[in-house]
Amino acid sequence: MRGKRREVLAQRAPSEGPHWTRAVAALELSEKQVKSHLIVSSLSFPSGFRQDSRHSEEARLRRIALLIPNRFCIGIVLCVVLFQGQVDKVVALDGPASAVVAPSPTEIGGRDVGEKRVISQALGIVFSGYLEGSYTQNFNNPSSNINQLRIFDVNANQVRPNLAKLVLEKEAKAGGSVEDRVGFRVKFNFGRDSKFIGGTNLSNLADFQEFYGQYVAPLGKGLDLKVGRINTLIGYEGLESPNNLNYSRSWLFGLGQPFTTFGVRASYQFSKQVSFSIGGINSITSATSDATNDLMVESALTLSPTDRVKFTLYGLFGPRNGQTAGSGGNRLLGGGILSVQLTEKTSVVLESYYANQTNSSALSRAGNARWDGVAGYVLYDLTDQWGLRFRSELFEDAGGYVSCNGTESYAKANVCVGATPTATAPDIAQTLWETTYTLQYKPVHSLITRLEFRQDHSNKNVFQYGTGPANHQETLSLDVIYLF
């Protein structure tokens, strides 16, 4: 009966005017509500869930144990379906070219991931995140089951549940009321990558990567101020896997650059072509353990002469502890990123930096720990779904300070042959180089798959081949990311 009434109303709507159209919409809405009620009613607990004298207590408990996860999964699926139907979507990873061109300093510090979903239109609060899992085949078949000198892709010949990342944020905006100028971001991680990200670890599997408050002061075009733990300004690659071109991280990022910083940051957009950020840092997280709380300064200047060219200069300076008692000194790191969009489908990126920390190397005659490197990237999109990514880098750890600092215990990152569950491999000065080839396929907008082949080399035998040392390592990885 309802279907016939709706058909009659729909046929008369064009001639009768807007009120008939609204009547049709109201009828359709009521039908959807009835269907939703029937679905929810069908999910009510069966009588077997209640105390039944015909079953033993043990059998009843078994049924409860099986019933709870089933109901929970059904409820989650229904919530996701209903949630996706009610929210507005803002795509952050939309254009292949825009994903390659180096972000502005503000974007470098807070790279957006996946789709953002508006959960409070009035307050402007949005929710986003992603799930990531991977498998890596190491052709050296190391007896330790560890990919040597890797950061997050450390499990050899194993599946790795990398990360579940959840982001809740409100972006502050210039202009408008005081409420519009206030914002925040909370970024929570759960999974095996969490331990080594090292923002504020709750456990080996849980970590608050970012948490900061934001205010855009009414000075000029708006002075963007952030206070808290924030992704670093330094470097092209970042912690957010979907925003990197490859699955594995470069040594430039993984071994030699900070991941996150804790302190105060100010950013200002002088024009479309020029922006600048500077921060006072109380602490940093990185591949090198660091408990120093002395003040450091980081900065980034971004120049965009055209829409297709972007150049970022970044720097970091301040005192840091060494890795042995009594060592440590001032750390200086400076470098730059050049990004060029050659065509609508092709982009290239070049990054290089130099770093030195005084009184921190036992291998250097002067005690200086120096590391530096250069990396080049090429992105080519075959279609909207298929793409090729290439990376080649050269990295030098002249002081033996930033490489081979991990043990075979969890989290197994930055490990070299010779390490044990309780001790790192001996310090070694070395030069590393690698090439990485990635085939990316996105069957749908919210799903990213990557097939990556990587070749690692060193001028020293720091990798593991079977049970012995080697100067090379080859891996093949499959990475899957679901954005939400």
Cβ neighbors of 460 (< 8 A, separation 6 or more) are: 428, 430, 471
Q: If you average pLDDT over residues 292-304, what whole number do you get?
A: 92
User: Is pLDDT at 14 greater than 50 in this prediction?
Assistant: no
Mean pLDDT, rounded, for 212-236? 96
The residue with tokens 């290439």 is 390
3-class secondary structure per residue, 282-333: EEEECCCCCCCCCCEEEEEEEEEEECCEEEEEEEEEEEEECCCCCCEEEEEE
* DSSP label at residue 139: T
pLDDT over 80 at 12, yes or no: no
Instruction: Give the pLDDT band of residue 64 (cuts 50, 70, 90).
Output: very low
Q: pLDDT of 29-44, one tens digit each?
A: 444 443 444 333 443 4
Does position 56 have pLDDT exceeding 90, yes or no? no
Average pLDDT estimate for 210-227: 96
**Is a pLDDT exceeding 50 seen at residue 23?**
no
**Cβ 266 vs Cβ 275: under 8 Å:** no
**Mean pLDDT estimate for the chain:** 81
Pairing mode, strands 386-397 and 200-203: unpaired
Amino acid identity of 127?
A: F
pLDDT of residue 347: 98
Could you identify the residue written with the tokens 């720097």? 315
User: pTM for this structure?
Assistant: 0.76
**Residue % of the chain over a pLDDT of 90:** 65
Query: Could you tell me what percent of the chain has a pLDDT over 70?
Result: 73
> What residues does each domain of the chain span?
2-49+56-88, 96-483
Just give the CATH number of 96-483. 2.40.160.10
Lowest mean pLDDT among 55-69, 335-349, 446-460: 55-69
- Report how far residue 114's alpha carbon sits from residue 112's, in angstroms, rounded to the nearest whole number: 7
pLDDT at 151 over 90: yes
Q: What's the distance, CA 293 to chain centroid?
A: 25
Write out pLDDT tens, residues 329-361.
999 999 999 999 999 999 999 999 999 999 999
Distance CA 38, CA 78 (A): 13
pLDDT band for 45, please (50, 70, 90 cuts): very low
Report the pLDDT value the prediction gives residue 325, as an integer from 0 to 100.
Answer: 77
Residue 62's H or E segment, with its range, is helix 57-86
